[in-house]
Structure 1
Amino acid sequence: MTSVPDDRFELPENVGPGSVWADRTGPRTLLGRNQRGVEIPIGHGEGEINPGELLKLALIGCAGMSSDVNLARRLGDEFPMRLWAHGTADEGENRYLTIAEEVQLPLEELTAEEIATVVKVFGRAVAAGCTVERSVVPGLEVAHRVLGAEEGQA
């Protein structure tokens, strides 16, 4: 199902694949949409996600998608993964200074050497394939940590 904005505004000239838009729905609230019909309420109220949370989700979503194929080769096609992003904006500078990413993977059955390989594979895949991080990092420090890997490393 393809979605397009209503006709309240003329479509910008450069609308194309990957374009997204947000319509104001009230004071400091928006409804973000993509061309596949997905809607995300943006704001600071119940049932809404704020822009900082969207940024963090974009980073971990990209990290997870970028590393998925390579991790599946080592952990199996149906491996569980949970990614977290933590960071609070610095009010004085009105920006995020650091966002810490953490990934949880099934490491229990792996040797220390295998865990080290998974950590390396994850980092390399994200560095090479995560367009979001590659776009953001020149101005924002993004730290990654594979949770549980610390215990397996010498």
Structure 2
Amino acid sequence: MESPNTGLAPETDVPVPPASPAAAQPSRLWVERTGTRTYTGRNERGAEVRMGPVEAGAVFTPGELLKIALAGCSGMSADTALSHRLGDDVEVTVEVSGDNYKPEDRYPALHERMVVDLSGLDEATKERLLRVVHRAVEQHCTVGNTLKAGATVDLEITGE
């Protein structure tokens, strides 16, 4: 339930994400091979993303997509609180990094840095907004929560 005129949940000051019927329906996702180690990811809404190894040029690597998904999720989770306090035209950049641990072919740690101009806020307002943003990301960033929880992955291979 939203507090009147604030856009924040009562008692927690966490932004309430707007309701979206499309969000409740899982979208079909798939990738199609387009060449040697290159694929195009698609969803049923018509979006596409090209992926492959660094050597393939203008593509994202799967690891880059993972990192971008995390950064995008954090930004989207914080957006209501930031735009509520700083305006709908607030500029936000979320940078993300993490080195690949080659022996296990994984990223043991990812680091996000949210860049937003808070210079117009007094110290108390700034501290409150930072708490609200952190709480919003912790509660609503599905990608971050999935990574922190360590999701299981099952692969089924079928022939047609």
Question: Which category of TM-score, normalised to the shorter sequence, fits these structures?
Answer: 0.7 to 0.9
Aligned to 2:5: none
2:91 aligns with 80
What amino acid is the match of 1:40? V
**5+ unaligned residues in a row in structure 1: which ranges?**
1-15, 141-154
Structure 1 Cα separation of the partners of residues 36 and 141 of structure 2? 33
Q: CA RMSD in A?
A: 1.5
> Which residue is 1:52 aligned to?
63
Work out which of the residue numbers 129, 140, 143 in structure 2 matches 1:129: 140
Question: Match of 1:26?
Answer: 35
Partner of 1:151: none
Q: Across the two proteins, how many residue pairs are aligned to each other? A: 125
TM-score by length of 1: 0.76
Bigger share in strand: 1
| Percent of matched pairs sharing the same residue | 38
Q: 1:143 maps to what in 2?
A: none
How far has the Cα of 1:17 moved from its partner?
3.1
TM-score (norm. length: structure 2): 0.73
CA distance in 2, matches of 1:51, 1:118: 33
Alpha-carbon offset, residue 68 of structure 1: 0.6
Aligned to 2:123: 112
1:43 aligns with 2:52: yes
Structure 2 unpaired stretches of 5+:
1-24, 152-160
Asked if 2 retains the 8 angstrom alpha-carbon contact of 1:71 and 1:121, the reply is no
